[in-house]
């Protein structure tokens, strides 16, 4: 294999992984908790789409492989233009836990949290969600049930976490 083939394999592999994380984070209840991975995913998709498209058109020799290699980057670029680069950039901030309200008595990785997301000059988004931590990097979120305070498996903890480091009077 030549150096061009190695670079093509690595670049296309990272691009596909970035698309996978972007789609999972944006369209499912799976979310990226790590700010570094989320920033790489959201800004990476905007940088890697045109870069991969140009690289694949330049390195692939036959018309068949040029079409195959340019399909996903082209569709991704169209998706970026439809969503809007600014909306993607403002969504690149990870949700940070401010307060753990309830914790499941049976599963320590299942909690109800109040979270905030820094959206730059636009302020903060806020939400209260049920969170299942897969790892320290990834989580699954779902809406909080209305009768959660009456359910026996939930223990009220009211633990301040303040991952954003905000000072409130």
Q: In this model, does residue 169 exceed pLDDT 60?
A: no
Q: Residue 61 has what pLDDT?
A: 87
80-121 tens-digit pLDDT: 999 999 999 988 999 999 999 999 989 989 999 999 998 888
The pTM of this model reads 0.86
How many Cα atoms occupy the beta-carbon half-sphere of 110 within 13 Å? 10
- Provide mean pLDDT across the span 38-62: 94
Are 59 and 164 in contact by the 8 Å Cβ rule? The answer is no
Task: Choose among 37, 38, 50: nearest CA to 11.
Answer: 50
């Amino acid at each position: 294999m030549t150096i061009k083939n190695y670079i093509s394999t690595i670049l296309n592999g990272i691009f596909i992984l970035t698309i996978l994380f972007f789609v999972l984070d944006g369209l499912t209840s799976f979310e990226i908790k790590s700010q570094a991975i989320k920033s790489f995913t959201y800004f990476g998709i905007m940088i890697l789409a045109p870069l991969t498209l140009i690289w694949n058109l330049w390195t692939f020799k036959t018309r068949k492989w040029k079409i195959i290699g340019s399909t996903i980057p082209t569709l991704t670029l169209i998706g970026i233009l439809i969503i809007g680069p600014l909306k993607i950039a403002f969504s690149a901030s990870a949700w940070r836990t401010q307060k753990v309200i309830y914790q499941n008595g049976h599963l320590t990785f299942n909690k109800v949290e109040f979270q905030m997301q820094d959206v730059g000059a636009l302020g903060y988004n806020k939400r209260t969600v049920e969170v299942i931590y897969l790892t320290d990097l990834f989580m699954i979120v779902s809406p909080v049930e209305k009768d959660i305070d009456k359910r026996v498996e939930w223990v009220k903890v009211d633990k301040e976490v303040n991952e954003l480091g905000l000072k409130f009077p």
